[in-house]
Structure 1
Amino acid sequence: MQYKADSPEDYISQLPEERKAVILEIRKNLLENLPEGFEEQISYGMLGYVVPHRLYPAGYHVDPKLALPFINLASQKNFVALYHSGLYADPRLLDWFKTEYPKHSKRKLDMGKSCIRFKNLDDIPYVLIGNLARKMSVQDWIALYENKTGK
């Protein structure tokens, strides 16, 4: 689901009550653990954590007017989704995450290429999400992004 929001607070205010607490807790973990330089904004109709143009003027190759995306957080129709571009781009990070996940959740990992789906809102691995957020600096993400896109 996409919400029409101008700010992260506006996005969160539109969520159903049962999703609001989960999104707020994941958001708190991201904000407390993301390395310096990433900025929170609305990106693709979701909460987005991006490399701003002041740090990476080239922006996103698909649309250079957009800041370089890194993580997105969304309340979808049937689940809460965390999109982490680093998991898609870095096989070692993905392997680490898949190994760590069962240590933090009773549920089977439900994941696409970069999307982690949380269908059971009572078993969100908040600590693991914080650990994942700390794993890649802005400089690491830019270098990996440029390597993968040939920039």
Structure 2
Amino acid sequence: MQSKATTPEAYLKELPEERKEVISKIRSKILENLPKGFEETMSYGMLGYVVPHSKYPDGYHCDPRTPLPFINLASQKNHVGFYHMGIYSDPKLMEWFTTEYPKHVSGKLDMGKSCIRFKNMKKIPYDLLGELASKMTTDQWIERYESAIKK
């Protein structure tokens, strides 16, 4: 469900109460842990954490007018989605996350290529998501992105 909100604050205001608290808490963990250089914005109708054009003028290859995406967070119809491009592109980071996840949450990890889905709002590993957000700097993300895109 893409939002038409133009700011993160407006996005949060339009959420149902039961999702507002969850998204706000994940957002806080991201902002507390995200390395310097990333910026919070609205991206693809979700909360976005991007490498701004001031740091990476080339932008996203799919649309160079768009800053390079890194993390997105969204309240979807049946789940909360946490999208982390670094985990998709870095096998070591993926291994770390999938090993750590069961230490924080009982139950099976529901994950696509870069999307971690949380259907049970009582089983969200907030601290682990914050730690995941801290694991890659803007320079590391740009290097990994370029190695995949500019072959």
The residue that corresponds to 1:94 in the other structure is 94
| Counterpart amino acid of residue 78 in structure 2 | N
Instruction: Return structure 1 stretches of 4+ with deviation > 6 angstroms.
Output: none
| Counterpart amino acid of residue 136 in structure 1 | M
| Counterpart amino acid of residue 45 in structure 1 | G
Give the alignment's TM-score, normalised by structure 1: 0.99
In 2, the alpha carbon distance for the partners of 1:81 and 1:104 equals 18
In 2, the alpha carbon distance for the partners of 1:67 and 1:123 equals 31
- Does 2:59 match 1:46? no
Q: Secondary structure at the match of 2:66?
A: coil
- Does 2:90 match 1:69? no
Unpaired stretches in structure 2, ≥5 consecutive residues: none
The residue that corresponds to 2:34 in the other structure is 34
Q: Secondary structure at the match of 1:100?
A: helix
In 1, the alpha carbon distance for the partners of 2:45 and 2:100 equals 29
In 2, the alpha carbon distance for the partners of 1:106 and 1:89 equals 26
- How far residue 123 of structure 1 moved from its aligned partner, in angstroms, is 1.0
The residue that corresponds to 1:147 in the other structure is 147
Give the alignment's TM-score, normalised by structure 2: 0.99
- Give deviations 1:26-72, integer Å, cap 9, x for gaps: 00000000000000000000000000000000000110000000000
- Give deviations 1:67-113, integer Å, cap 9, x for gaps: 00000000000000000000111111001100000001112100000
In 1, the alpha carbon distance for the partners of 2:12 and 2:100 equals 28
Aligned length: 151
